Structures are given as structure tokens and as C-alpha cells.
Amino acid sequence: MSIEIVSEQRCHGGVQGFYQHVSMATAGTMKFGVFQPPRIAERRMPVLYFLAGLTCNAETAAIKAGAQKLAAELGLILVTPDTSPRDTGIEGATGDWEFGEGAGFYLDATTPAFAQRFAMYRHVTAELPALIAASFNADIDRQGICGHSMGGHGALTIALKNPETYKSVSAFAPIVAPSRVPWGLKALPRYLGDDQVTWRAHDACALIEDGARFPGTILVDQGDADQYLQTQLQPHLLESACAAAGQPLNLRMQAGYDHSYWFIQSFIENHLLHHAIALRA
């Protein structure tokens, strides 16, 4: 597999780049961002994936989260995947910001309409790490994963299903139980079909209820002024599931913060340090 450079810029002594490649997983061109810290040529560095939310793309977190300065100091490679395949030509995949292009939910679709192109789980967990390992001086034995909103859902479910692969996990305002909230109830049947048993593998609370565990502490920050708190996010469900299962969780309710990247900027340092400690950056 080879990558094409879209752009590269100096940033905090390192390089913020955006790249694209032909994806076997999604049967099309996929874009992603990579921040390479200073001195990356001297040694392999750990990798932190940041999964963005609905309507976002490979540039959103790289531009808005403000993570590069501390990542440069800690020696963390930051990878920002896109949130879905693009230009799919699939009927119903555009025109709705809550579903389809820009809203891939980090799963592998199984319904006939979406299965060929919407394989974001395979892209993020297998294809993209292989590209990062081949193209950058990355230590993929030290990987962490973080995300926001839909991307927080992705980070939690991916880490819970692959605890041997990811050494750390955190999330900002994640969708913790998509099988019980409107965003998930719109997306899951269209991607996976109507059998709700299959949805449980893509629901962090259900995964924990069904026995999945992450060996470290899950860090979650949630603003108490988030406009989606009660309808779409419901972090108390994750808190209850973790408490019942004995899964370590650090859920921090942040007074006055909403769902935006201003919220993420305010606490990204805590998350990078959380990952750096686990990854021994």
C-alpha cells in the first residue's frame, strides 16, 4: 500500500500532513491526517488515533483540537482518519448530516446497500495502522485511541473489542449507547439491519454488559451544557454499565461546556497526558 501526500506543513517543530490512499476496505480513496513530532527520525514513536464526530473529516480534529503542541513535547504521533468513505454514489448516503457520508459510525456495514463501501471499522483498526507502520516511524505496539461524539463511540467500542491492540482509550462527549438513542436508532438498522442483537457489538454499554473489558481506565469528559447530553449521549448509562462490571472509568462532568471543539481544546491536554502515560511516550 502506498500513500499520496496532499499537503505537509511545519507545526510545533514537527510536521502536520494530510494524505490519501486507495482503500481496499472502503473501495475508494480515503484521506487521513498525521502529525509527526520533532525527532521522529531518531526513534519509533507511539500512535494516538483521534476519531472525529458527525459531519467531520480528516482535517477537523487536526485543525480544531489544538493537540499538536503537547503531542510534539510528548512524542506522540497523532492520526486523524476521515469519518466515512466519500463520493460513494449510494442512494441515501448524502443529504442527512446524521447518516451516511460523514457519519460512518466506525463499523463495517452488512446491509447490501452499504456493505461494499462503509467498512470504517476495518479501515481504522487494520488498514490504516498498517499504512502508518509502513509510511511513518511509528511503534504500533503502542497505540491509543480517542474520539469525540460519534468518534467517542468509535473509540470506546474499538478499544473494548481490541484491548490487546490499544493501550489507552478516552473520549469527549461520546455516544455511549447508540442502540438506545436517536442517532444510533437512525444509523444502526440502515448499516446493520433490523436484528438488534447485531447492534450490541457496536454499543459500548452493551459490550461491557456482555463481558468486554478494557484493562486500563477509560477517561471520558462530558460538558454539562452539551445540547445533546440528555437525548443522544446519556453518559450515566456508561457509568452504570462500568460500575456493574467493575470496569475502571473516570467520567468527568465539566460545568458549562458544550459539544464543540472549544470544549475539546479545553481538556485535550488531560487526554494526551492520559495516553502518554499508558503508552510511555
198: which DSSP letter? H
Whether 144 and 230 have beta carbons less than 8 Å apart is answered as no
Q: What is the pLDDT of residues 37-58, one digit of tens each?
A: 999 999 999 999 999 999 999 9
Q: What is the pLDDT of residues 251-264, one digit of tens each?
A: 999 999 999 999 99
The pair phi, psi for residue 70, each rounded to 5°, is -70, -35
- The DSSP string of 26-53 is TTEEEEEEEEEPTTTTTS-EEEEEEE--
Confidence of residue 10 (pLDDT cuts 50, 70, 90): very high
> Whole-prediction pTM value?
0.97
pLDDT at 29: 98
Stretch 13-34: mean pLDDT, rounded? 98
pLDDT at 44: 96
pLDDT at 281: 78
Whether 85 and 103 have beta carbons less than 8 Å apart is answered as no
Residue 181 has pLDDT above 80, yes or no: yes
pLDDT at 1: 67
Residue 2 has pLDDT above 90, yes or no: no
Which residues contact residue 24 at a Cβ distance below 8 angstroms, ignoring those fewer than 6 apart?
A: 127
Helices (H) and strands (E) in the chain, counts: 10, 9
Whether 205 and 157 have beta carbons less than 8 Å apart is answered as no
Q: What is the C-alpha to C-alpha distance for residues 78 and 35, in angstroms, rounded to an integer?
A: 5
pLDDT at 130: 97
Report, as residue numbers or ranges, the catalytic residues.
149, 226, 259
Q: What is the pLDDT of residues 138-171, one digit of tens each?
A: 999 999 999 999 999 999 999 999 999 999 999 9
